[in-house]
Amino acid sequence: MKKILLLAAGLAMFMTSCSSDDSSKSASTPVLLTKLIETFEDNSTLTTEYEYSGTKLIRMTDDEGRFEFTYTNDLITQVKYYESNTLLQTETYQYDASGRVTTYIIVDNIDTDWGNRETYTYNSNGTVLINYYYGDAVSQTNFDKTATVTFLNGEVNEFSFSDGQTITYTYDNMNNPFKNVTGFDKINICNQEGSGVFHNVTQEVYTDISENISTTYTYNSNDYPATSVETSFEVTNAQYFYNQ
C-alpha cells in the first residue's frame, strides 16, 4: 500500500505566464505533484490526482478509490483507503518526541483477520532495526522477522532481512516529486520497502527474485520527473504533472 502511496504520484500541470506576478508566485510556491497518468502493457491507464492543504497531502484519488490523510501537526498519523465510499484499509503511524516514526500499523477493515505492525529502533551507527509482526485488525503480536535499514546520502540504501532477503536501491540526482510534501520524509521506510526522499529510485535489486526493477526518467525544467519508464515483470509508462 505504501508503494502506491509514495510512488503513484499525481500532477496537474499549471503553465505560468511571463508576468512578474506569476514569476514571483512560481519562485515562492513549492513544486507539488498533482496528477500522474500510468499506462500499462495492455494499454490500460490509471490516473491519480492529488489534493493539498498548503504542502500537506490530504487526498489522493485514482480510478479505483481514494486515500485520505490525517496529520498531527506536520506528521502523517493516519491514512485511510476507500473504494466506493467503503473503508477498506487503515494505516496508522506513531512517532517519538524527535518526530521519528516508531510504529506503523496497517489493518484490513473488511477482512478483520488481517493486520501487520512494524516497530523501529534507531541505532547509534545510523541504521534502523525494524521488527515485523502480524495478527488481526485489533492486535498484531505474532513475530515474523527483522530488517536492518542502512542509508546513504539521506536515502535508503538497503533493507537486509533476517530471512536472507535484501533490497538495494540506486537513485538519480534529480528532485523527487514528493520532496516538498509535508511528512513524507518521515515514513520512507514503512511497509517493508524504501522510497526516495530527495531523489528518484532508478533501480531496486532483490536477492530473492530474478526480475529487478529499473526506472528511467525524463525531467522538466525544474529537474522533476516529466515521464518515466519502469521495467520489471512488465513495463509501465508514466506522465507527471505539477502545480507549476
Task: Give the whole-angstrom CA distance, residue 181 versus residue 183.
Answer: 6
Is residue 13 assigned to a domain?
Answer: no
Q: How many independent structural domains does the chain possess?
A: 1
Can you give the pLDDT at residue 27? 53
22 part of a folded domain: no
For residue 137, the enclosing domain spans 33-242
Q: Is 20 exposed, middle or buried (0-12, 13-18, 19+ CB in 10 A)?
A: exposed
What's the confidence (pLDDT) of residue 192?
85
Residue 41 falls within a domain, yes or no? yes
Could you tell me the CATH number of the domain that includes residue 236?
A: 2.40.160.190
b/e map of 127-160 (b: 16 or more CB within 10 Å)?
ebebbbbebebeebeeebeebbbebeeebbbbbb
Closest CA to 121 of 113, 112, 111, 131: 131
Residues of the chain with pLDDT under 50: 1-26
Let me know if residue 26 belongs to a domain: no
Q: Enter the pTM of the model.
A: 0.87
Kindly state the helix (H) or strand (E) to which residue 23 belongs, with its residue range: helix 20-28
Cell of 89: 484499509
Nearest Cα to 189, choosing from 215, 165, 158? 158
Would 94 be classed as within a structural domain?
yes
Q: What is the pLDDT of residue 63?
A: 93
* CA dihedral sign, ordered 116, 131, 151, 58: positive
Tens digit of each residue's pLDDT (9 = 90 or more) over 49-66: 999 999 999 999 999 999
Residue 45 lies in a domain: yes
